[in-house]
Structure 1
Amino acid sequence: MKKDYIYQQIAQNIIQLIRGGVWKPGDKLPSIRTICQEQGISMNTAKRVYLELENKALIISRPQSGYFVTEAPYRRLPLPTVSKPSGKDSRTLPDQLISKVYGEMDRKGLTLFSIGMPSPELLPVAKLNKCLLQASRELKGSGTAYEPLTGNARLRQVVARRSFMWGGRLAPDDLITTSGGMNAISLCMQALTQPGDTIATESPLYPGILQLAKSMGLRVLELPTHPQTGIDVQALKAVVRQIKLCLLVPGFSTPLGCCMPEEHKKAVVQLLDEHQVPLIEDDLYSDLYFGTSRPVSCKAFDKTGNVLWCSSVSKTLAPGYRVGWVSPGRYKEEILRLKYLHTLSNTAVTQEAVAIFLENGGYDLHLRKLRDTLHTNCIHYTNTITGYFPEGTRISRPQGGLSLWVELQKDIDTAELYEQAIRQKISIAPGRMFTLQKQFDNCMRLSLGLPWSEQLQKKLQQLGRIAGNL
């Protein structure tokens, strides 16, 4: 083992002991000197172990007393209930509410719990600026020329190489670049459906996808979804003959943050392939895992080209660059035709800059820092919600991603909570935004992508008090 990572392994061992109940909330941990003796490490390494645990809000230092476990709140609140959509097509989306929430993005002084992306303070802006300069120097015409229809060659090359990390076997020619993840999904949906077709999705689901489906005249069949394991595979099996397309976010979906187990992914890919139903895999969040490794994507189990794998850097690196891609399998020609009609070429400079950043190792270093921050935020949020939100609150336990799903008592309407909170300059995403049906009125999504601070904690406490008053 590399010496630089000894402290991380020891910290992970302690975390497992805490979550396994060996060390309970309030228990005193061994002293730094004892850790040095037992583990055969230096004083500085031992201090890094406890600093790592403090950063994750799992322990607290008490002057003259030592270090104590603080994780109790993380395990106390129950999970949100499994969603139970009606099983019927619905096209009712609260467009006015969605427009209001997203229309507040530029309002000064707001605490944006509502927007599911990393705050600019968490992004490597200075390094990206250098990549932009390098890209403008190296590209033909400083990036003023059109890119090939398939997209930036350098970006497709590096994305193909990185597919090895999640079990993929992609080549550059398997990929088409797009203007962000939603553009990739839109191209796929346009290529594979016609007005009146039925598509199956998880529930709740990102409102942008629901709005897109509604605008295309599609029927949306929302399926029961578990807050930890994702879509109910048996429910999908029961309706597979009725659908033209399936769209899933199997890796740390928004808003639930759930992650489908590998056996579920494999079963879904096989089921849909048998019935010749294409699968659009929205894989935006899988790089934001909190554990030890990135989850395998559905595309890794695709043997026939039936999975259209969509991703981007919009949730991990540069939301405003609008750089995404799709590996459309056997539907490549249809996607290329639509791209030619709608966009022809993407922005050359930003695609080249992202490719440079991904090539030089900066992306993996950034991801490690971002994942650690998001995981720590998740624990801070959970502890604060446990202490300040009303009785009966339920909360998701994401193992990655940017979202925390909070379920309140049935008599609390989060659309009304939004109105009350916005007056206090707090913005949330009410649960009704994430469905076409009459459900999730007592739920909300909170973004983990804000830098944690005492001020942010006070805002979250204030939100809990407002909910309690409702």
Structure 2
Amino acid sequence: MKKYQRLAQQLIEQIDLGVWQPGDRLPSLREQVVSSGMSFMTVSHAYQMLESQGRIVARPQSGYYVAPRAVSKKPAPPARVISDESVDINTCIFEVLQASREPSVLPFASAFPDPHLFPLRQLNRSLAQVSKTASAMSVIENLPPGNRELRHAIARRYALQGIPVSPDDIVITAGALEALNLSLQAVTEPGDWVIVENPCFYGALQALERLRLKALAVASDVKDGIDLDALAQALATWPVKACWLMTNSQNPLGFTLSAEKKARLVALLAAHNVVLIEDDVYSELYFGREKPLPAKAWDRTDMTLHCSSFSKCLVPGFRIGWVAAGKHARRIQQLQLMSTLSSSSPMQLALVDYLSTRRYDAHLRRLRRQLAERKQLAWQAMLRYFPSEVKIHHNDSGYFLWLELPAHLDASELSERALAHHISIAPGKMFSTSGAWRPFFRFNTSWGWGEKEDSAVHTLGDLIRQMLK
């Protein structure tokens, strides 16, 4: 636990014990610095965390006070398992994404990080270099399963985490989304039941719709992740063929499953002979010193297809992803040959050239630091400008914040009003086939923070206040 989290927890315990009563003024930031021996930034972070959770409130020119005890009735939580025999969500997703594409719109709805964070000059240099040396045989050599050197480089990164993956088990794809779609297609037939999280990455719902698969949406918590008891219930009730989950920096909620929960998840699926399709595109964007292991690290029965890419951590435009497919590798190659044929040969070669420079890990360290800083700035702006009724769900990884409006408001309406001011957000209805997430929205915090971004958050706060009235 980090220092600011420890301090926040101490204050919560003191409030619960009655040391501080609702309405009491807490020690000022400077007083807390002196008494705790922590830095001003650490204390400030702890107070901001408690404020975002609704435990304390800030009063201008006065200080921080213990918040009144909530007496309002909370809305009922989403059903633990929602079955949907016909997924129909692509039109909704398409309309939201199309409306956000205008160059004048601030893209807080985007799923991609700010491209200015990536080493585009070095990557373009690598692309120019391989363009000079590529032979006529390059296209053939990079057909499925993909460039051998690139697969070896990826296998070595698995090995650094203690996960034994053979280069022959890796299939290079046109981004992670193709890896996920091919994996799903390889282990299902139209009409099969597939488990997803609720809420989940909208690409999973689009894939189910396209392949005419039935969805079982299992409740997921913003801190703890998927409800394993509900998952066990679904597995025992329906003839499930596959489970598509994100275990690290989940989109849209942001949680990372604990190691214990990942182990239990893998064991539970193995007991029911259900394949796990693990979407792990954000695993490099952790905050802290240790990279979280994927669920695949606990797989001993070759029942996990681990999918990832370089799109969220290095270069979106190259569209290079992969799946560590194990015994399903050959089937996925066959499916790829019938669809996209292969991922781009020059892009694969350019990545091999860039990865050979050993600059990748230095870039990742810098990227993680910048994303953490920008997320903090966005969070602080929301605490300044958003009404106190808005709950900000904050997780220490990735670049998304998940925001909760009062239950009677609709984030889709907020999205429409925001677009009139050239601001895009991702409303909760994009991430579920149920209406449970209507008051929620996802916010991308990866963009460089300046006056324009700060003003946009101010505008969002004003729009929410208008809707509250």
TM range (shorter): 0.7 to 0.9
The runs of 4+ residues in structure 1 deviating greater than 3 Å are: 12-25, 28-31, 68-71, 79-86, 90-97, 141-146
| Residue in structure 2 matched with residue 278 of structure 1 by the alignment | 275
| AA partner of residue 288 (structure 1) | L
Measured in 1, the distance between the counterparts of 2:374 and 2:324 equals 32
- 2:30 alignment counterpart: 27
1:298 alignment partner in structure 2: 295
Selected match of 2:99 from 104, 125, 134: 104
Q: Structure 1 276/111 Cα, relative in aligned 2: closer, same or farther at 3 Å?
A: same
Give the structure 2 partner of residue 72 of structure 1: 47
Amino-acid identity (%) = 31
Aligned to 2:307: 310
**Are 2:305 and 1:330 equivalent residues in the alignment?**
no
Are positions 1:443 and 2:440 aligned together? Answer: yes
Pair 1:341 & 2:366 matched: no
Deviations 1:76-110 (A, max 9, x none): 22399965455222545444432222113441221
Distance change in 2, residues 1:422/1:105 (3 Å): closer
Secondary structure at the residue paired with 1:27?
A: helix
1:231 to 2:226 alignment: yes
SS in 1 for 2:194: strand
Question: Any residues of structure 2 matched to 1:174-189 within 5 Å, and which?
Answer: 174-189=169-184
CA contact (8 A) 1:116 1:402 kept: no
Residue 244 of structure 1: which of 237, 241, 244 is its match? 241
1:360 CA displacement: 2.1
User: In 2, are the aligned partners of 1:148 and 1:345 still within 8 Å (CA)?
Assistant: yes
Following superposition, the deviation at residue 164 of structure 1 comes to: 2.6
Q: Distance in 2 between matches of 1:466 and 1:231?
A: 32
User: Corresponding residue for 2:58?
Assistant: none
Q: 1:468 to 1:143 in 2, by over 3 A?
A: farther
Bigger CA drift: 424-433 or 232-241? 232-241
After TM superposition, the score normalised by the length of structure 2 is: 0.85
Deviations 1:214-265 (A, max 9, x none): 1111111000101122111111111114211111100001100011111111
- Give structure 1 stretches of 5+ with no counterpart: 1-11, 32-37, 39-48, 60-67
Q: Distance in 1 between matches of 2:425 and 2:85?
A: 24
- Rounded to whole Å, the distance in 2 between the matches of 1:370 and 1:177 is 24
Q: Secondary structure at the match of 1:304?
A: coil
Task: Tell me the distance in 1 between the aligned counterparts of 2:357 and 2:91.
Answer: 44
CA distance in 2, matches of 1:90, 1:291: 41
Partner residue of 2:462?
A: 465
Structure 1 residue 371, shift from structure 2 partner: 1.0
Residue 195 of structure 1 deviates from its aligned partner by: 1.1
Q: What SS does structure 2 have at the residue aligned with 1:257?
A: coil
Post-superposition offset of 1:205? 0.9
Instruction: Tell me the equivalent position of 2:425.
Output: 428
Kindly indicate whether the alpha-carbon contact (under 8 Å) linking 1:149 and 1:345 is maintained by their aligned counterparts in 2: yes
Aligned partners of 2:176 and 2:281 also within 8 Å: yes
Counterpart AA for 2:441:
M
Once residues 389 and 88 of structure 2 are traced to their aligned partners in structure 1, the CA distance between those partners, rounded to angstroms, is 27
Q: For the residues of structure 1 that align with 2:327 and 2:226, how far apart are their CA atoms?
A: 25
CA distances 1:301-344 after superposition (whole Å, capped 9, x unpaired): 11111100000011111111110000112212211221122223
Superposition map of 1:364-383 within 5 A: 364-383=361-380
Distance 2:394 2:451 in 1: 23
Residue aligned with 2:215, SS: strand
Q: 1:262 aligns with which of 259, 262, 265?
A: 259
Could you tell me whether the CA contact under 8 Å between 2:310 and 2:316 is conserved in 1? yes
* Root-mean-square deviation (Å): 2.7
**1:229 to 1:137, Cα distance in 2 relative to 1, 3 A:** farther
1:115 has 2:110 as partner: yes
**Structure 1 pair 166–202 and aligned structure 2 pair: CA distance change class (3 A):** farther
Matching residue of 2:451? 454
Amino acid in structure 1 at the alignment position of 2:97: Y
Aligned-residue offset at 1:149: 1.9
Q: TM-score, normalised by structure 1?
A: 0.85
* Offset from partner CA, 1:128-181 (integer Å, 9 cap, x none): 111112222343239555513210111101100011343311121120100000
Code of the aligned partner of 2:451: E
Query: For structure 1, which segment, 423-432 or 239-248, has the greater mean C-alpha deviation from structure 2 after superposition?
Result: 239-248
Are the equivalent residues in 2 in contact too, given 1:250–1:281 (CA < 8 A)?
yes
Flag the 1:112–1:162 CA change in 2: closer, same or farther, 3 A.
same
Greater shift, 342-351 or 440-449, is seen at: 342-351
Distance 1:317 1:264 in 2: 29
